[in-house]
Amino acid sequence: MTDDTEAGGKIDYAEVMRRLPHRYPFLLVDKAQDYVAGTSITGVKNVTHNEPFFPGHFPIDPVMPGVLIVEAMAQTGALLMSKTMDVAVEGKVIMFMSIDGVRFRKPARPGDQLHMKVVVTKQRGDIFKFRGETFIDDKLAAEADFAAMVVTVDAPVS
């Protein structure tokens, strides 16, 4: 058994920042729990009224855009891949490849906490396929099947 499963598989914000290249306003995972290498993870996103999308979506009745809930699931999957494969952020990026069967069941609003449960359904080399489900207050809010892969990126030319 690895240290990850013995410690409850927790990933704090500092490790999220080391493993994902995303930054404000596009980093949509605050921490993770229940990490099991190559198998599953649960990402956590605290939705606050200060999110940059709420003034325009919608001022009177703020709702987190569904596409950002899907992105939060994808970032959770990327976090699982990064930790499982020990992918360095420098020179590599985990890219979203496909998405199928997206369903939205419950809107996310300020004050909600998203729990993105992501399970690996298939892995082949640097390509992972996932099943993601996002819960708010233990109720299914969104679900999707998606895939991602590790891509080597060229260093910027100076």
pLDDT in tens, 6-21: 457 999 999 999 999 9
Cα–Cα distance between 79 and 37 in angstroms, integer? 11
pLDDT in tens, 40-87: 999 999 999 999 999 999 999 999 999 999 999 999 999 999 999 998
Q: Specify the pLDDT at position 55.
A: 94
| pLDDT at position 158 over 90 | no
- The active-site residue, picked from 22, 49, 57, 115, is 57
pLDDT, position 7: 58
DSSP-assigned letter for residue 99: E
* pLDDT tens string 98-140: 999 999 999 999 999 999 999 999 999 999 999 999 999 999 9
What pLDDT is stored for residue 56 in this prediction? 96
Written as six digits, the tokens of 124 are 């082949």
37-70: string of b/e by CB count within 10 Å (b at 16+)?
beebbbbbbebeeebeebeeeeeeebebebebbb
Higher pLDDT, residue 1 or 25: 25
**Please, are residues 108 and 64 in contact by the beta-carbon 8 Å criterion?**
yes
Q: Is 22 a catalytic residue?
A: no
